[in-house]
Structure 1
């Protein structure tokens, strides 16, 4: 019988990393980390719902995130995010849905030119508006995620689980 060498690495010893744990089921420690992050980082975005929907893959908050993205796109569009003559509620709604789809799946629903033609706006106007919505939501989620990882470490350390 021949002895086999099995490769072992640090991943066998340390267990799950913080990012993997945060992308898993909700635990009291994760809730505590979120509470700590919300204490310092309040920007008006539904960061918990975004994190659980986009990173953890939960469907529980998807409808809330979708409604919020549309409301954000309407407010942003009416506040000068797109030219007044090009703005419509349909444009805001479709751009928000498309931005959310890119956030969730890493690709657009259909080519932006097709969507722009259906909405009756120039394709660059649509693309610029959609991308602005996407980039703002993505930036908020990225900042929240970084702060969650740090807060989660601190919570586990305080609980002496680290």
Structure 2
């Protein structure tokens, strides 16, 4: 293990060693679908059912979630790297060619291996991010699916089970 100074670069590189799942967070701004790739998602509580997402304050998705009051976490499968990269870019047409279901007031990605729709219960400050606590309103998943993972700045898949 190497020691390094406490800098943003060092911290990002260190936290990049934490393997995370990859999700697309979706919401609406009026009738416009909004979305971004995220890895800062976690289950929070079973009673009540809650999860958290952490969104950078500088991102429009953060403003849209705060205004709309509802968001979805769309967990991506191991074959969804292109989708993850698409939603990670700053471009206006992220949803072009992406199939969604909008039965719950926010777009849910049809190709997601799991999805959770939440109402914002709390928005808490977290440095340069906002921590949204979401009350779960709907969730679904595919049993036979494997997640896309993020590690050290790159995407990958879990190895086959033994």
TM-score of the aligned structures, taking structure 1 as reference length = 0.26
Compare CA radii of gyration and give the structure with the larger one.
Answer: 1
Greater helix share, structure number:
1
Greater strand share, structure number:
2
TM-score of the aligned structures, taking structure 2 as reference length = 0.26
